[in-house]
Structure 1
Amino acid sequence: MIPDKILNVFNRSIKMVCSNIACYCNDPVSDFTRKRKLPAETLIHFIVQMQSKNLNSELCEYFTDLDSLPTASALCQQRDKLDISAFQRIMHLFVNAFDDYKTWKGYHVLACDGSDVNIAYDEKDEDTKRQNGNNKPFSQLHINGLYDCINHVFWDTSIDTATKTRECAALMKMIMRHDYPVNSIITADRGYEKYNLMACCIENNQKFVFRIKDINVFGSILSNLNLPHEEFDLDVTKILTRKQTNETKNNKDKFTIMKKNRILIILMMMGFMN
């Protein structure tokens, strides 16, 4: 694909968001209404091209004209006005602007996984604070992405705290939001081996392939199934229950005893509860 075309599509996506900037700022009445050195479009371009340098160096490299050079304080004030949904909207406009994506047997193959991202240290933010051995504490976020393995683009993303406790919830949110092609197969690694996630996929008619833990690993979905130690392809039916009777305890290949809160989540995903 021609680089100039890609750049033009990206710039057009930014302009579309900035033309409706009131929808993507914290105060739609006053934010980005006055003329500043950092209007919304310039601010977004600057943030997108930022590298890993300190803020003053980034500003000096981007604004070559000293008369237009904003201070770091002014940049932070303008940045605080901008909601993260602006960047999500730009990404969606950008990736949906192309119609020549490749598929595998008619399907987009999407992989969901997470990655840690270091951010500026904030000792007051317990959600992002991390400690690595005897090293100094640092701040970190966890980014969950839905990545197209064939076309090398991200169709959706979700930001989690550094504890990574909401990876499955993030994928469920992206599935229900469905800002990706309908003809898709979602793949994920062993960390996504959850009944409620599978229920979410089934309820939303989403095809999926999840890698799960080995049959001999405690907690694996397969651990209570009597499966052959060879290559196989078979259907398995499981009944999820909260009853702890002799029947359910003695037939673990048929019944899976669930905690109350997990049963409620699955029922909600399957549409049996409001």
Structure 2
Amino acid sequence: MAEHHWLFSKNPGHDFTRQHLGKLSFYDTMRLIISMGKGSTNDEIMDYFDLDPDLIPSQSAFCQRRRQISLSAFEYLFSEFSSSFPSTTDKFKDHCILACDGCHVVYATNSDIIEDYNKPRLIDYKGYNHMHLNGFVDVISKAFLDVVIQPGQQPDEREALHSMLDHFTPDDPQKYIITADRGYESYDLLFHCELKNLGYVFRVKSPSSPKSILSYYASELPDDLEEFDVTIKRFFTDKATNIMKSQSDVYRYINPSKNTPHFYELLRKNHSHLYFLLFRVVKIKTTENTQEIYFRLILYNFGIFIANEAAEENRKKKRDGSNKYLYELDFSSALKTARKFFMRRDSGRHIDIIRLMMKYVHAVKDRFRQFQRPLRGISAIHFGYR
């Protein structure tokens, strides 16, 4: 890329044409941006150039160089770098498991970027900016195979998965299984996977939900059972003849008004108005419905009982008359201390847990505060530290 830097510059023929005379080449600018953490710009530049005053460029020079690089440079580098390795590094029972999911990535607040800015609902609250990152990940190797970045206020996770499926061209697609959570369930994604010869496992809503793609088969699914494994067989069609309507256990009509373009690609590929689809619907009970909540409540009560004893002891302490504030027990620290105490294995060393909790107190300033305490908004978290 450095040898053909004009392909990745905003102004080819102008940007980086005299880079040999300066301190920041295209190569160093790219590497510096990629390696940056959450320190200040000057700190990051200083680290990159190993504290050498003769090599360190100014912050202004770096900002100018950064503006000269096009966004496509990083997209291209990610794509080429990722594809230079095998698509997957490990297999699960002779299959490669790929997962798709999305998350919000918060960045520096800028209310001018309307499609990313989340406006606060209450006055005096701080808004924040976020983008929606859709990732296609190899579950075993944990590597990103592809990403689609969307505006934070206008995410479309299904459309993102469609895009990533379009980009995905493995040599042996039948060796891959696509997995996704409930938000992705749609007939068209199933048809897209069928079109690409990919296996798939989608988590879907209960058949009793009218928004579930399984609602059509509710009579065939014993949803009142805690677990079941049922195979559904249907001929999907874009024709609605009287015979097909009368045999709903054999045919499933797909309305052309629905957004299912990949279904019609399947029909064109098969030169038919019918496409046979066999899929399993599996309901699995993972845990008892209320186990974990009781675990949390037991540990919470364990901590709060001890913390209340420590708070009482703290109130008995004689207050220093020179202190401006009254000091109360910090319950947040106390609960963390109780958890650490609970996790200790049998030990001959005695721990005075009450005295330990009393070391963590905070000043009560409510009657001294001259203004209402502001609540912090969501702040940016550098992606490398998430």
User: Which of the five TM-score ranges fits, normalised by the shorter chain?
Assistant: 0.7 to 0.9
Superposed displacement of residue 193, structure 1:
0.6
- Tell me the number of residue pairs that the alignment of Structure 1 and Structure 2 aligns: 255
SS in 2 for 1:91: helix
Name the structure 2 match of 1:105.
93
Contact 1:201 1:208 in 2 (8 A): yes
Distance 1:181 1:149 in 2: 19
Task: State yes or no: 1:115 paired with 2:103.
Answer: yes
Q: Are the aligned partners of 2:117 and 2:153 in contact in 1 as well (CA < 8 Å)?
A: no
Deviates most, 165-174 or 179-188: 179-188
The counterpart of 1:234, out of the listed 231, 235, 248, is 231
State which of 165, 168, 178 in structure 2 corresponds to 1:175.
165
In structure 2, what is the equivalent of residue 29 of structure 1?
Answer: 13
- More displaced 10-residue stretch of structure 1: 218-227 or 74-83: 74-83
SS of equivalent to 2:209: coil
Tell me the residue number matched to 2:205.
Answer: 213
The aligned residue for residue 297 of structure 2 is: none
Tell me, what secondary structure is at the counterpart of 1:32?
Answer: coil
Amino acid at match of 1:158: V
- Alignment partner of 2:45 out of 53, 56, 59: 59
> 2:199 and 2:9 mapped to 1: Cα distance?
36
1:135-179 per-residue CA deviation (whole Å, 9 max, x = no partner) reads: 311111111111111112111111111035321111111111116
Give, in angstroms, the shift of residue 121 of structure 1: 2.0
Aligned residues: CA RMSD: 3.3
Q: Which amino acid aligns with 1:266?
A: H
The match for 1:151 among 141, 154, 157 is: 141
- Deviations along 1:92-134, one digit per CA (max 9) or x if unpaired, are 4434444582111322211111121112222211111113544
Q: TM-score, normalised by structure 2?
A: 0.57
**Partner deviation per Cα, 1:23-72 (whole Å, 9 max, x = no partner):** 33333333333214322211121111222233333333333233433333
Are the equivalent residues in 2 in contact too, given 1:113–1:188 (CA < 8 A)? yes
Residue in structure 1 matched with residue 262 of structure 2 by the alignment:
266
Q: Give ranges in structure 1 of 5+ residues lacking alignment.
A: 1-16
Conservation of the 8 A alpha-carbon contact between 2:234 and 2:249: no
Code of the residue aligned with 2:36 in structure 1: it is M
**Identity, % of aligned pairs?**
28
For the 8 Å contact 2:115–2:154, the answer to whether it is kept is no
C-alpha contact (below 8 Å) 1:156/1:180 kept by paired residues: no
Structure 1 39/103 Cα, relative in aligned 2: closer, same or farther at 3 Å?
Answer: same
Report the secondary structure of 1:152's partner residue: coil
- Name the stretch that deviates more: 151-160 or 24-33: 24-33
Counterpart amino acid of 1:155? L
* CA positional deviation for 1:233: 3.2
Q: Note closer, same or farther for the CA distance 1:170–1:236 as it changes in structure 2 (3 Å cut).
A: same
Task: Determine the structure 1 residue equivalent to 2:75.
Answer: 88
Q: How does 1:189-200 map to 2 (within 5 A)?
A: 189-200=181-192
Moved more, 134-143 or 100-109: 100-109
SS at match of 2:112: coil
Higher mean alpha-carbon deviation, 99-108 vs 34-43, is at 99-108
Residue 195 to residue 30, structure 1, CA distance change in 2 (3 Å): farther
The amino acid across from 2:198 in the alignment is Q
**Aligned mates of 1:62, 1:42 — CA distance in 2:** 9
Asked if the contact 2:100/2:137 (under 8 Å) is kept, the reply is yes
Distance in 2 (CA, whole Å) between partners of 1:140 and 1:33 is: 35
Cα separation, partners in 2 of 1:103 and 1:28, compared to 1, 3 Å:
farther
Deviation string 1:186-232 (CA, Å, 9 cap, x unpaired) is 11111111222222222222222111111122300011212123412
Give the match for residue 79 of structure 1.
66
* Distance (Å, rounded) in 2 between the aligned partners of 1:172 and 1:203: 12
Say which is worse superposed, 23-32 or 46-55, in terms of deviation: 23-32
Aligned to 1:202: 194
Specify the alignment match of 2:31 in structure 1. Answer: 45
Structure 1, 100-109 or 174-183: larger mean CA deviation: 174-183
Give the direction of change, closer, same or farther, for the CA distance of 1:269–1:189 in structure 2 (3 Å limit). Answer: farther
* Distance in 1, Cα, partners of 2:74 & 2:80: 10
Distance 1:26 1:106, change over 3 A: farther
**Is there any run of 5+ residues in structure 2 with no aligned partner, and where?**
270-386
Q: In the aligned structure 2, how far is the partner of 1:78 from the partner of 1:248? A: 65
